[in-house]
Amino acid sequence: MTHLTAVIFILALSLMRSTAFAHDETNKMINIVFPSDNQITVSQLVPVTEKDLIEIQTSIELPADECLEPFRAQKFSAQDLVDLIGNVRKVDLSGDGVDDLLFITYCRGEELKNYYWIKKGSRYYYGGLMVGTLVKLFHTTDSKALSVATRGGWCCFGQIGFNNLYTPTIDKQGLKYKLVKSVSEYGNITLPDKRVPTKRFVVMNDKYKLRQHPVIDDKYNELDSDFERMPVYGNTLAKFLKGSKGEAIAEKEDEIGRVWWFVVMDADAKVEYNRFHDDANECKAGWMSSRFIEVIK
């Protein structure tokens, strides 16, 4: 196999395994990382009708954004209706008993954008947008408003996905959503079957490895090294410096009795080696041996 053929092969393989994983494991990953009760999915949101759109058009606040141009039409064209019906959904985001609006679109990008409006009186006030495929909305014990979990990434032969958690906040303009946590995952990472109570921990050894699977594999991988343009050894995803902190949210014992923790490292944890690339503000998920990490309060 020539070098070029090998690179093409690994690109195709990467796309297939990442795409398959992204579709098959979406709900499982979100529910492990951001567990919740009382959740609803996109399929449960109510789509608007043409009559709804005509009424909404006279009472909706629209910022300067070309993706929202279909709402401005004096008369909806057939294409406008295709763009809006089914993509505009009614849901009570604020928890006040009145339906708000979501507009879900791929406009000008490869990630879904979820624009939202909060209804007050007879007006729909623009709140902003959330990025990624909307997986679930759910209530927490401290808020009547819904929290939102989205998932994305994986495009363009990529092997890295993200899981975003947006929580509601109240300011002078009303209800807004804030991205409070973004967790990166790599390729077909092994996911735990269930979550355990969260344990905060600190890494006690330098260059401690975060792995894709709960098994030690440090063999040099030439094909992945060529593809990623950096040395790749087995299932190592990152190496964290001593003092780095994170949360263990699941565990698994291997054949020799070693206990592995499925962890989400803090966004500011320091790495020396990193296959997640440009994710400076994101947490990293994977497996760590529990041997040299210490539980903290």
Query: For 20-31, how does the pLDDT look when each residue is reduced to its tens digit (9 = 90+)?
Result: 444 446 688 999
How far is the C-alpha of 264 from the C-alpha of 185, rounded, in Å?
10
In the predicted structure, residue 14 carries a pLDDT above the cut 70: no
| Nearest CA among 185, 147, 181 for reference residue 164 | 181
Domain co-membership, 178 together with 194: no
How far is the C-alpha of 190 from the C-alpha of 293, rounded, in Å?
20
**Which residue type occupies 252?**
K
Domain co-membership, 128 together with 199: no
How many other β-carbons are positioned within 10 Å of the β-carbon of residue 256?
A: 6
Domain co-membership, 81 together with 160: yes
Which domain covers residue 264, as residue numbers?
189-295
Domain count, the chain: 2
- Scored b (16 or more CB within 10 A) or e, 25-34 reads bbeebbbbbb
**Which residue type occupies 80?**
D
123 in Cβ contact with 98 (< 8 Å): no
What pLDDT digit, counting tens, does each position of 280-293 carry? Answer: 668 999 999 999 99
Tell whether 4 is covered by a domain: no
Residue 194, SS3? coil
* Cα→Cα distances 43→3, 86, 112, 162, 266, Å: 45, 10, 16, 21, 32
What pLDDT digit, counting tens, does each position of 172-198 carry? Answer: 778 999 999 999 999 889 999 999 999
Tell whether 34 is covered by a domain: no
Last residue in a domain, options 142, 170, 186: 186
Reported confidence tier of residue 16, pLDDT bands at 50, 70, 90: very low
Rounded to two decimals, what is the model's pTM?
Answer: 0.88
Q: What single-letter DSSP state applies at residue 241? A: P
Q: Give the dihedral of Cα atoms 187, 190, 191, 197; nearest 10 deg.
A: -120
Last residue in a domain, options 186, 211, 243: 186
Domain co-membership, 208 together with 139: no
Reported confidence tier of residue 19, pLDDT bands at 50, 70, 90: very low
Tell whether 33 is covered by a domain: no
Last residue in a domain, options 144, 171, 186: 186
How far is the C-alpha of 217 from the C-alpha of 60, rounded, in Å?
55
| Average pLDDT, integer, range 196-206 | 96
Phi, psi for 198 (deg, rounded to 5): -65, 135
Domain co-membership, 182 together with 202: no
Domain co-membership, 180 together with 227: no
State the angle between helix axes of 3-24 and 26-33 in degrees (0 to 180), rounded to the nearest 10.
Answer: 70
What pLDDT digit, counting tens, does each position of 205-255 carry? Answer: 999 999 999 999 999 999 988 988 899 999 999 999 999 999 999 999 999
